[in-house]
């Protein structure tokens, strides 16, 4: 499955990049395929793999902040692999096709 | 402000990339800074600019599907510009600093 | 369409209920059907109606905070009405039916 | 922590209430405090308790559908209890106070 998540502390001021940096370290050390973007990070793996990375980011942030907000979006498609690299490419390829007919 | 959004039809089957391709066309023609990622697209602009692009994607999709799901995540920070390019870089730069001390 | 949204300031401390109270006032004065729950508020109306309420909440919050986070989830189904009252009831009614057969 | 989640299959048609009913059964049998609303369900518990309920809903849905979408929003505040009942009440109480002064 592929998961987009964003995590940040509430009540630790307006600038959050040092908290995000801590999360990046945990994500990048996990070994899972990842894609950082300006509103979160996408991770690919099975349920337990991905959720243990998110939980590690949350546990770390709760050491430094009393309140943490997390948003997670999951796209779980059986039998699909390597989607973190292929989803955008797949839609891009369709853009060269003629406009899809209206229903 | 910077906005992450994902839009897809419900009830049009499991393969959605041709619908995503239609949304990509609308996004890319809007002239707003954008960043496609494997779970959505980030857009940067003011409220009305960004929301009119999302509404155009939704109006197009409702021509082809009876039910549409949209997820939108907004980070609205006054005075901040060019964040679609700078947010990841800002956290990356912090990764080279010593581990932030625990509270 | 029916919309779930949550809005809060970043950098204004950990306790947010007075900010939420301001949003509740705007929502309740809008005249749209609404449902507060412990993680957000659901609103029902057409695109422009609903988005203008969310924008008013955001404009108000930006008077008091420099950075605002908003999460919006939309379920847009053509021809469906009064869903804020009927969606839970519809699933509840199905719970009395025999377990749906596996595919 | 308190968690809002919504889960539905992609590619199983437009009417989803029988799938939601299956999720409701799993949620209600979990013993955790819950609140159904028209765009999802809020659950309260610790990380492992809540995530195992969501995973059970997902495992059940993947028996019936090849592709599943899940949105999860977490508000994790240390030392706070019984929030599924108290968060809306807390903001409601603030509505009776004079308008908060602008910064």
Assembly ipTM: 0.92
pLDDT at C81: 86
Per residue in B18-71, pLDDT (tens digit) is 999 999 999 999 999 999 999 999 999 999 999 999 999 999 999 999 999 999
pLDDT at A24: 96
pLDDT at B11: 92
pLDDT at A45: 97
Q: What's the rounded Cα separation, in Å, for the pair C4 and D16?
A: 18
pLDDT at D5: 97
Contact (Cβ atoms closer than 8 angstroms) between residue C35 and residue C41: yes
How far from chain centre, in Å, is Cα D15? 20
Average pLDDT along chain C, 103 residues, taken 10 residues at a time? 97 92 96 97 98 98 96 95 90 77 46
Mutation site, D10, D39, D88, interface C, largest C CB count within 10 A: D39
Query: What tokens appear for A85 in the block?
Result: 């690299």
**Interface residue B63 vs chain A (CB under 8 A):** yes
Chain C residues 26-55 with a CB less than 8 Å from chain B: 47, 51, 55
pLDDT at A96: 79
- CB neighbour class for A73 (10 Å; exposed up to 12, middle 13-18, buried from 19): buried
Per residue in D47-56, pLDDT (tens digit) is 999 999 999 9
Per residue in D82-98, pLDDT (tens digit) is 899 899 999 999 997 65
pLDDT-based confidence at D81, cuts 50/70/90? confident
Kindly state the average pLDDT of the residues D47-74.
97
pLDDT at B99 exceeding the cut of 60: no
| D10 chain-B contacts, CB cut-off 8 A | 8, 10, 14, 16
Contact (Cβ atoms closer than 8 angstroms) between residue B35 and residue B42: yes
Q: What's the rounded Cα separation, in Å, for the pair B57 and B20?
A: 9
pLDDT at D102: 45
Nearest chain A residue to B75, by CA: A39
Sign of CA dihedral B53, B59, B63, B68: positive
pLDDT at C102: 46
Mean pLDDT, rounded, of chain A: 92
Q: What's the rounded Cα separation, in Å, for the pair A48 and C70?
A: 28
| A66 chain-D contacts, CB cut-off 8 A | 77-79
Query: How far is D37 from chain C, CA to nearest CA, in Å?
Result: 6
pLDDT-based confidence at B98, cuts 50/70/90? low
Give the strand pairing for A40-44 and B34-37. unpaired
Binary contact (C71, B72; C-beta < 8 A): yes
pLDDT at A20: 93
Q: What's the rounded Cα separation, in Å, for the pair B31 and C43?
A: 31
Query: What tokens appear for D84 in the block?
Result: 């599924």
pLDDT at D98: 57
Per residue in A60-97, pLDDT (tens digit) is 999 999 999 999 999 999 988 889 989 999 999 999 76
How far from chain centre, in Å, is Cα D79? 20
pLDDT-based confidence at D103, cuts 50/70/90? very low
Query: How far is A45 from chain B, CA to nearest CA, in Å?
Result: 14
Mean pLDDT, rounded, of chain D: 92
| C94 chain-D contacts, CB cut-off 8 A | 17-18, 20-21
Per residue in A18-46, pLDDT (tens digit) is 999 999 999 999 999 999 999 999 999 99
Q: What is the pTM of this model?
A: 0.93
pLDDT at C98: 58
Nearest chain B residue to D39, by CA: B69
Structural domains in chain C, CATH included, are 2-94 (3.30.70.930)
β strands within chain C, DSSP E: 2-9, 34-37, 40-44, 67-77
Can you tell me whether residue B8 is helix, strand or coil?
A: strand
Can you tell me whether residue B24 is helix, strand or coil?
A: helix
| Nearest CA-CA partner of B50 in B74, B80, B78, B68 | B74
The percentage of residues in chain D with a pLDDT greater than 90, rounded to a whole number, is 83
Please give the interface size between B and D, counted as residue pairs whose CB atoms are below 8 Å apart: 21
Binary contact (B21, A64; C-beta < 8 A): no
β strands within B1-103, DSSP E: 2-9, 34-37, 40-44, 67-77
Q: What's the rounded Cα separation, in Å, for the pair A37 and A57?
A: 17
Alpha-helical segments (H) within chain D: 17-29, 47-62, 83-94
DSSP helix, strand, coil percent of chain B (3-state; round to 5): 40, 25, 35
């Amino acid at each position: 499955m592929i998961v987009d998540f964003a995590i940040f502390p509430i009540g630790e001021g307006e600038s959050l990049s040092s908290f995000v940096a801590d999360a990046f370290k945990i994500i990048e050390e996990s070994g899972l395929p990842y894609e950082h973007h300006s509103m979160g990070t996408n991770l690919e793996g099975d349920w337990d793999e991905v959720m243990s990375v998110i939980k590690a980011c949350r546990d770390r942030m709760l050491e430094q902040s009393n309140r943490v907000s997390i948003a997670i979006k999951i796209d779980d498609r059986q039998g699909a692999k390597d989607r973190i690299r292929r989803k955008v490419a797949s839609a891009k390829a369709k853009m060269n096709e003629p406009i899809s007919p209206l229903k």
